[in-house]
Amino acid sequence: MATTQYTAMGTYSHPPRTADVTTQVTWTSSSPAVGTVSSTGLVTPAGIACGTTVITATAGKNLIGPGNSDEVVAGTSTFKVTDPNAPGCQ
C-alpha cells in the first residue's frame, strides 16, 4: 500500500497570485478506517479496510485574510484503497 501526498493551492485576488497552502489548511479524512491524512496532506492507507475516503482541505478566515468571519474555502478528493489479494477488495 502506498502513501499519496496531496497539495492545496490557494488563489488570491489581491494581489493576484497562486501559492502552495498545503501546510496552512486543515486536512480531514471521511473514513479514517480506510485512510488517514496528516497535517501536511500525506494520505496513508489504514491497512484495516479497503474502499474509498474523501480527503478534504479546509481553509478558514485566518488563511484567506480579513473579511467575513464565516468565510471557508474547501477542496476535496477521493482516495481509494484496494488489495488484489483480499476477496471483495478490488
In three-state secondary structure terms, 41 is coil
CA 2 from centre of chain:
16
**Structural domain of 16:** 4-81
Does 74 fall in a domain?
yes
67/82 Cα distance (integer angstroms): 43
Does 86 fall in a domain?
no
Structural domains of the chain, count: 1
Identify the pLDDT of residue 46.
86
Does 50 fall in a domain?
yes
Does 89 fall in a domain?
no
* pLDDT values of the chain reduced to their tens digit, one per residue, 90 residues: 588 999 988 877 777 888 888 998 889 999 998 889 999 999 998 877 788 889 988 887 655 555 544 555 677 787 877 777 777 676
Does 90 fall in a domain?
no
Question: Does the reported pTM lie above 0.95?
Answer: no
The domain that holds 50 is classified in CATH as 2.60.40
